[in-house]
Amino acid sequence: MLRYLLSRLWQSLILLLLVSMIGFAVLTLAPGGPLSQYTLTPGMTKEALDRIAAQMGLDRPLPIQYLDWLRHMLMGDWGHSYRDNQPVLSIILGHLFATLLLMGTSMAISIVLGTWIGIRGATKRYSIFDYSATIGAMVALSIPTFWFGLVAIYIFSLKLKWLPAGNMYTVGNGSFGDYAIHLIMPSLVLALVNIAVWSRYMRTATLDVINQDFVRTAKAKGLSPRRVLMRHVVGNSLLPMITLAGVQLPTILGGALVAETVFTWPGMGRLFLDSLGYSDYPVVMGLLMFSAVFALIGNLLADLLVAFVDPRVRLG
């Protein structure tokens, strides 16, 4: 088990290094570059821009800039924002809770509803429910997340006035109930696509387990259908879903970016777009690395959990 863990850690570190190199190169070589905002300042001259570039170390070769950035990041110094000169790490941590709250709620909804729909679709194969779930999943996977968000705002906020259109809480309130009401729409919209994916995988995994010999043996022993389902089918069907949960993390992070923008949710996704529009590259790079680490940790934990549950994975 320890050898398997060290192998996965080594692979994750190499992947993280590649992500940092590619991200740093793309952001530095993007049109306009890190100095694009300074060019909008009235009266800014080329000499002044060159002086700013020298002060920020942007006049050095790209590999030297990357190695210097990597060294500081490993020491805990993620740089300072171009916009307000605040430490990048403190800015990201200030928006972390909002994103974790939205992602955690969305993932919980996806797992619960997706698992139930998938199991029911497999046990009621070719029924009206199964066909409806299949059609609903195809629709959810075909339509962009932002469209669902805009439709939800139009129906439930503008027309019915049941739910707030955006933000994380009402200014001056901030109670648990207020947070919960503001969380309903963005979490459901973000979960919609993931429910479709999870239900399809769960249906396939359940159908595969139902046809196994040990399930037929359990039925032949006279066990009730409910006991066979809960004791023998569901537990074995959930094994590939553990891996899916880890793989889904980058997808949820990408969806959170869209959902946070549509619902003006003050999380890391909205911070990323704001920083990108301002060419605040230290914050953008910090968010890129933070998201990469988060996704890799999720995949690593999923792999370890699968290896713990299924010895064939770590022995193979």
Weakest-pLDDT range from 39-43, 97-101, 146-150? 39-43
Q: The domain spanning residue 275 has which CATH number?
A: 1.10.3720.10
- Tokens 């669902």 — which residue? 148
Does the structure show a pLDDT above 80 at 133? yes
Structure tokens at 26: 């793309």
Q: Is residue 162 situated within a structural domain?
A: yes
The count of other CB atoms within 10 Å of the CB of residue 233 is: 24
Residue 5, in any domain of the structure: no
Average pLDDT, stretch 163-181?
Answer: 83
Domain that holds residue 241: 87-307
Secondary structure string (H, E, C) spanning the chain? CHHHHHHHHHHHHHHHHHHHHHHHHHHHHCCCCCCCCHHHCCCCCHHHHHHHHHHHCCCCCHHHHHHHHHHHHHCCCCCECCCCCCEHHHHHHHHHHHHHHHHHHHHHHHHHHHHHHHHHHHHCCCCHHHHHHHHHHHHHHHCCHHHHHHHHHHHHHHHCCCCCCCCCCCCCCCCHHHHHHHHHHHHHHHHHHHHHHHHHHHHHHHHHHHCCHHHHHHHHCCCCHHHHHHHHHHHHHHHHHHHHHHHHHHHHHHHHHHHHHHCCCCCHHHHHHHHHHCCCHHHHHHHHHHHHHHHHHHHHHHHHHHHHHCHHHHHC
For residues 136-167, one letter each, b for 16 or more C-beta atoms within 10 angstroms of the residue's C-beta and e for the rest, the string is: ebeebeeeebeebbeebbeebbeeeeebbbbe
- Residue range 235-267, pLDDT digits in tens: 777 777 777 776 677 767 777 788 888 898 888
Would residue 19 count as lying in a domain? no
CB atoms within 10 A of CB 254: 13
- Percent of the chain, pLDDT > 90? 9
Of the two residues 10 and 42, the one the predictor is more confident about is 10
Lowest pLDDT segment from 41-50, 71-80, 92-101: 41-50
Mean pLDDT of 11-24: 88
Stronger pLDDT, 286 or 12, i.e. the higher one: 286
Residues 6+ apart with CB under 8 A from 280: 81, 82, 83, 274
Give just the sign of the alpha carbon dihedral 90, 91, 95, 100.
Answer: negative
The tokens describing 231, both together, are 């004791």
Confidence band for 2, pLDDT divided at 50, 70 and 90: low
Domain assignment of residue 24, yes or no: no
Note the pLDDT tens digit of each residue in 265-311.
Answer: 888 888 888 888 888 888 989 988 888 888 788 777 777 776 666 65
Domain for residue 57, yes or no? Answer: no
Q: What is the mean pLDDT of residues 125-148?
A: 88
Q: Is residue 61 one of the residues assigned to a domain?
A: no
Q: How far apart are the first and last CA of the chain?
A: 12
Q: What is the pLDDT of residue 315?
A: 47
Residue 96: alpha-carbon gap to chain centroid: 12
Total domain count, the chain: 1
Q: Let me know if residue 153 belongs to a domain.
A: yes
Q: What is the pLDDT of residues 208-240, one digit of tens each?
A: 888 788 878 877 877 777 888 877 787 777 777
